[in-house]
Amino acid sequence: MPRWLTGGETVDEDVVVSSRVRLARNIKGHLFPNRAAADESEAIAEEVSAVMQEEDAAFQHFRLRDVDRIKRRVLMEQHLISPDLIKNRAVSEYYLRDDERMTLMVNEEDHLRLQSLLPGMQLRASFDAVMDMEKKLEEKLEFAWHMEFGYLTACPTNTGTGLRASVMVHLPALKYSRQLKGTFDSLAKVGLAVRGIYGEGSEALGDMFQISNQRTLGFTEIEAIEKLEKITSSIIEQERNVRTALITHTPAMVLDGVYRSLGILRYARVISAKEALQHLSHVRAGVCMGLFPGTDIRSLDDLMLHVQKYTMLAYKHDTKQKETEDEVRAQYIREYFNKEESYGKR
């Protein structure tokens, strides 16, 4: 299980899988990464390295060019680094705290991307953690800042606070009841964006959606957090209400959908990542509706991370299995449900 997913009490994790806050910062006097030559990018990395060596031994330092292709994608699937960091792998680096709840990305789209990632609905705690880290860095590094526009970034949509706050939400009931479009249209009207599980341009898999602020100019960081907290609370309530209505008024249909998916997961010999995530979504909904008392929801969230393409390829390589990726994935899932007694006997 990823370390960021373990430990501590969280709230609303039946709907909110994770909370993440990212800050974009650039160092004054340097070109942005999309304009900088390799030697300037190296100089930026050295400046950051000098600060981090003084800062905290709890961080491990990695250069993307030294990380193999599959491992890079595993880190992305586990939400520890971004797709843009991988794109800039010739010059990009990252610092990962031992508990995996804080990442500092260097030479991504901006010179620095600070990320705090926590399980469940913990936006405020994630925000506090990333701002504390930013404050420590700003004592040693001078960030590019404009009196009128705020913090300057490579992409104008991040200029101002440089803050992107997001929650990963599981919305199977709203999707099943065909209410997602109306919900998402309402979010767009109040300046929030809905994206797939890896952010902009990615696909929504397993009924998981990432909701984040779109605007970073014209209000403070805390105002952005409070707005997203308020909207997320409303979405949590909507999803729970629809779940209750479905299990109350159409129990046979709900049970059939959940147990069909459980049966496929328990007995399939070949299964793709996309299909596995969809069936796991149904089972997760059943867990949250109380169909499988005693189930650890985070254990199921961990499984949903592990069945993704590159995480499964890494597992296949580590265990030296000759079967195809889809065969190994099916076996991995079968073994999981064989061990979990809360889902009942086979």
- Ordered by start, the domain boundaries in the chain are 3-241, 250-343
Q: Pick the range with the lowest mean pLDDT from 22-31, 56-65, 102-111.
A: 56-65
Q: Pick the range with the lowest mean pLDDT from 52-61, 130-139, 164-173, 249-258.
A: 52-61
Just give the CATH number of 3-241: 3.30.590.10
pLDDT digits (tens, 9 = 90+) for 12-37: 999 999 999 999 999 999 999 999 99
pLDDT digits (tens, 9 = 90+) for 301-316: 999 999 999 999 999 9
3-state secondary structure string, 123-177? HHHHHHHHHHHHHHHHCCCCECEECCCEECCCCHHHCECCEEEEEEEECHHHHHC
Q: What is the pTM of this model?
A: 0.94
CA 72, 169, 285: angle at the middle one, nearest 5?
A: 110
What distances in angstroms separate CA 173 from CA 223, 282, 310, one per listed residue?
A: 29, 9, 28
Confidence (pLDDT) at 112: 98
Mean pLDDT to the nearest integer, 40-59: 90
pLDDT digits (tens, 9 = 90+) for 3-18: 999 877 678 999 999 9
Confidence (pLDDT) at 345: 58
Ramachandran region of residue 273, left (φ > 0), alpha (ψ -120 to 50) or beta? alpha
Confidence (pLDDT) at 200: 73
pLDDT digits (tens, 9 = 90+) for 67-78: 999 999 999 999
pLDDT digits (tens, 9 = 90+) for 201-251: 778 899 999 999 988 888 899 999 999 999 999 999 999 999 999 999 999
Confidence (pLDDT) at 38: 95
Residue 346 has pLDDT above 60, yes or no: no
Confidence (pLDDT) at 56: 65
